[in-house]
Structure 1
Amino acid sequence: MNFSIVADKPLEKYKKCDVSLILLSVLLWGIGMFTLYVCSGNYGERAFNDSLYFVKRQMISSCLGFMLFIVFMTLKIEVIKKFLPLMVAVGLILSLMTFLPGIGLERNGARRWIKLGFMTFQPSEMIKFVVVLYLANYFEKQDKITDAIDKTVFPAVLLTFLMILTIAVQRDMSTSLFVAGLAILLFIASGAKIFWLVPVLSIVIPLSALFIFLEPYRLNRIIGFLDQDSYLQTLNYQTYAARRAISDGGFWGQGLGAGLNRINSIPEIQSDYIFAGWVESMGFCGVLCYFALLALFAWRGLVCALTTKTRFASVAAFGFIVSIVAQSVINIAVVGGVIPTTGIPLPFFSSGGSSILFTLAICGFLVNASRNRIDSYENVDIGEILYE
């Protein structure tokens, strides 16, 4: 019996992954977990008689997330593409399962979750992930078609619209609009003809306005945003409490765990408003550190998108980086009262198993794409990657 521990492939054929992406991903996750620990203890104790309730659930989801991280980091890009039809089908089926009695879970009038034994799952997070991969794969296939007459974006527009619609009917307007904006950006970045954008927007914009005005809570969010000095004990209470916590943070912050009075006054702080807890604890200095880490993460991700060999990996990496950065900016803008409340979570920070699951899967894919970079990228032009 012959055994060999030496790889058959020549050493120069192996590409090193971007270690900084791994370190940044783990660091952002670690800071997010520690912030969740500091901010969620009081609410967990009051609501579930367990100060570590949200931390434990997030840790379980994170373990599964790191498994996905390893899977998407190690699988060959071609293998990921082969599994795409299955991922799209599973995402659509899970989205529709939110309406099945006994499986779908309704909260605050919205059916966005399904029960999976000891945990819940939010299919819209999977759809957000799958849309990017699907469009990246579709654009790569279209790029290989030589006859311009055979090129069309209609199938991609139709299936993307269907996936977004499954989110919208769950009464998750903010996520559906976010995915729609992300998809449009990918169409534009990939050089696809956007003549179809006019009729699509002529349908989407009126429908979006209709959905907003048909739901009283969405209309109340807009009213509260337009008049932020009023309704401080009702519509604007969450934003008002978040602002007080941010103000108390000052430049250096109250210290982790020191300023819990303000943090505890923010409803559902472990979810969409967790950044207010980070700012109160770490102050303006903590805000600068967070944005520095986010900027480094975005930079390394964009370098990965511009230097990876395949069009599929390039477009997908670009879409994923935009997704994480845009979600972060939107969430922080909501906490600061710059835009109306949206329900968009803060990646790596907000409590939510589905969110951390696919955030870590995105990080794994980015690391994978960095392993397939071109040999020299000193003079790489974005046009050569996205439009070629």
Structure 2
Amino acid sequence: MARRVDLAPSGPLALPTTGIGRGWEAAAILTLTILLLSLGLVTLYSASAFLAQAQGFPDYDYVLRQAAGAAGGLVVLGVCAWIPHGLWRRLAWPMVIVAGILLLIVIAPGTESIAPLVNGARRQIRFGLTFQPSDLAKVAVVVWTAALATRKQEEFSSLRRGLGPFLLVWAALLIPIALEPDLSTAFLVGMTGCLIVYVAGARLSHFFFLGLLALPVLYTQLDVAFRARRVASYLNPSADPAGAGFQ
């Protein structure tokens, strides 16, 4: 029998239905977020200080721009934390549908004027501002998967009834992302969805079975020369320090 996990616990550790709250979970998530942002800014400074100086800018120029974006992101985080869970559930399907439509626009023939080819991939929509629909898909998958997982916990013992609906919707979003092509984002979004349903009670054996089915697809993708080089350089970056392993 699939384990049941209470996704809305009660008691002293429970998070409220609205607001950031005082639970340790919220504090831990916020602390980890700030630590990751800080680490990213330090890493960016290390990588960009010389380049900024060579371009005639202060050595902290790139870091300052990124910090401004990070500050804006924290403001959005605070706003989203105060939105009631019920509203997120109602927004789940609209977010998935809008993300799916935008992803299809990106890869559809005849839309090159608003979704141009950049470095061999079509990932952006340009309406004055540049927007990547895959970014919306990341949020949509998290919200929609969590919303459905709360109602599917009793059915996770069945692969068809438990994981089946998730796989169909994930595929509708992940396939267009992979066709852009942007396999790293497709992998990230897929793994995030799998992690959510696993925490909600899905069986590990089901994921193992699906992983075996996915091996042929993974092999065909790794057979592409530039992807094989990227994997090889990740496993052994010193093999080609001036080429694929250059940082």
Structure 2 contact 174–186 (Cα < 8 Å) conserved:
yes
Give the match's secondary structure for 2:122: strand
1:219 aligns with 2:219: no
Change (3 A) 1:35 1:178: closer
Find out whether 1:191 has 2:201 as its counterpart: yes
* 2:132 counterpart residue number: 122
Sort the Cα spacing of 1:28 and 1:229 in 2 relative to 1 into closer, same or farther, 3 A.
closer
Deviation at residue 234 of structure 1 after TM alignment: 1.8
2:153–2:201 contact (8 Å) kept in structure 1: no
Give the structure-2-normalised TM-score.
0.70
Q: Distance in 1 between matches of 2:199 and 2:106?
A: 33
Q: Say what the alpha-carbon RMSD is for the aligned residues.
A: 3.5
Tell me, in whole angstroms, the C-alpha distance in 1 between the residues paired with 2:85 and 2:200.
19
Q: C-alpha displacement at 1:63, in angstroms?
A: 4.2
1:233 aligns with 2:247: no
* TM-score (structure 1 length as normaliser): 0.48
d(CA) in 2 for partners of 1:177 and 1:126?
15
1:82 match:
90
**Alignment partners' CA distance in 2, 1:196 and 1:14:** 34
Residue equivalent to 1:17: 22
Q: Distance in 1 between matches of 2:131 and 2:80?
A: 20
Give the 3 Å change call, closer, same or farther, for CA 205–44 of structure 1 in structure 2: farther
Aligned length: 220
1:89 CA displacement:
2.0
* Displacement over 6 Å in runs of 4+: none
Higher relative contact order (CA 8 A, sep 6+): 1
Q: Decide whether aligned partners of structure 1 residues 198 and 70 sit closer, same or farther in structure 2, where only a CA change above 3 A counts.
A: closer
Distance 2:65 2:126 in 1: 14
2:242 counterpart SS class:
coil
Alignment partner of 2:124: what SS?
strand
Partner of 1:140: 150
CA 1:221–1:204: 2 relative to 1, 3 Å: same
Q: Distance in 1 between matches of 2:167 and 2:90?
A: 21
Q: Which amino acid aligns with 2:241?
A: L
Q: Is the alpha carbon distance of 1:76 and 1:213 closer, same or farther for their aligned partners in structure 2, counting shifts above 3 Å?
A: same
**Is structure 2 residue 106 aligned with structure 1 residue 101?**
no
Cross-structure match for 2:12 = none
Instruction: Select which of 42, 63, 66 maps to 1:58.
Output: 66
Distance in 1 (alpha carbons) for counterparts of 2:37 and 2:233: 32
Letter in 1 for 2:22: C
* CA–CA separation in structure 2 for the residues paired with 1:27 and 1:236: 27
Looking at structure 2, the residues matched to 112 and 199 of structure 1 have their Cα atoms a distance apart, in angstroms, of: 31
Pairwise CA distance, 1:237: 2.8
Change in CA separation of 1:23 and 1:195 when aligned onto 2, cut-off 3 Å = closer
- CA distance in structure 2 between the aligned counterparts of 1:62 and 1:227, rounded to whole angstroms: 32
Percentage of pairs with the same residue? 24
Report what 1:170 is aligned to.
180
Q: Decide whether the 8 Å contact of 2:240 with 2:246 is kept in 1.
A: yes
Aligned partner letter, 1:161: A
Residue 220 of structure 1 aligns to which amino acid in structure 2?
A: R
Aligned AA for 1:17? Answer: R
Task: Give 1:204 shift.
Answer: 2.3
Contact 1:124-1:167 within 8 A present in 2 as well: yes
In 2 relative to 1, CA 152–27 (structure 1 residues): closer, same or farther, beyond 3 Å? closer
Secondary structure of residue in 1 paired with 2:239: coil
Letter in 2 for 1:103: I
Does structure 2 conserve the Cα–Cα contact (< 8 Å) formed by 1:167 and 1:173? Answer: yes
Return the offset for 1:229: 4.6
CA contact (8 A) 1:230 1:236 kept: yes
Report the secondary structure of 1:98's partner residue.
Answer: helix
Give structure 1 stretches of 5+ with no counterpart.
Answer: 1-12, 239-388
SS in 2 for 1:83: helix
SS of residue matched to 1:171: coil
Deviations 1:39-66 (A, max 9, x none): 423324546x544553354244334413
Q: 2:51 aligns with which of 43, 51, 67?
A: 43
Contact 1:110 1:170 in 2 (8 A): yes
SS at match of 1:115: strand
**Contact 1:187 / 1:194 at 8 angstroms: preserved in 2?**
no
Listed as ranges, the gaps of 5+ residues in structure 2 are 1-16
Q: 2-side partners of 1:95 and 1:58: how far apart? A: 26
